[in-house]
Amino acid sequence: MSSAVASASIDGQRAHLEPAAAVDPAVLAELDWSRALHPAMAGWVVRPSVPSLGTVLVRDRRDDAVVGLLDAVEMSGYPGVVNVSIYADGERGHAGTMLEAYGLLVTQLFDGGVRLVHHEVLELNRPIQRILRGIGVAPTARLVEHAYVAGRFWDVLVFAFGPADWDRVRSTVAPRSPVSPPPSVEGGS
């Protein structure tokens, strides 16, 4: 995976992405705690002391508020395939900003030579499933009782897409820019 993903900050219209390694650990810890309390989020149990190169913090440029985290980690055994996880702090709103941040990150991943972006989504996380299906990406596997979250085991759905799919999304689903969310997903988590 290209380390360029997190080696420098990225600015969109509303989103500001900065490498998590450069962020105050207390800010990350607060986000991780919020994430750990959300049933749909299967985040870190204990975040590594040094965040991975693919972890970026997302702020809203309008008020500098921290609105979420994106983790991009190359899958073990699959060079060029990057598992991206999204945490949007629902308490803080800014869903559109997170979607813009996601678009910026994915674009940068593909520009850096990544072959596939891979998502593992809890079966209970319907908002993310709706977004992925909305951009034409269908699940290809259901990992039965693969994740222990909120007191029980849940199935995990696997989605993946490549640069050609992303180009189609940019040109058809979000034609104004790769980071402009369609109105229907505003307010999602």
Pick from 102, 106, 76: nearest CA to 88: 102
Neighbour tally for 165: CB within 10 Å = 16
Question: What is the C-alpha separation between 19 and 81, in angstroms, rounded?
Answer: 20
Buried b (16+ CB within 10 A) or exposed e, 142-155: eeeebbebeeeebe
- Residues in binding contact with other proteins, number by CB under 8 A: 25
In one-letter notation, the amino acid at residue 60 is D
Name the segment binding other proteins (CB under 8 A); options: 4-12, 93-101, 126-134, 142-150: 142-150
Using the rule CB under 8 A, is 151 a contact of other proteins? no
Q: In the stretch 48-87, what mask flags binding to other proteins with x, by CB under 8 A?
A: ---------------------------xxxxxxx------
Name the segment binding other proteins (CB under 8 A); options: 22-30, 128-136, 154-162, 171-179: 154-162
DSSP structure string for 2-29: -THHHHS-EE-SSEEEEEGGGS-HHHHH
Using the rule CB under 8 A, is 146 a contact of other proteins? yes
Nearer to other proteins, 62 or 142 (CB): 142
Chain contacts with other proteins (rule: CB under 8 A): 45, 75-81, 115-116, 118, 139-148, 153, 158, 160, 162
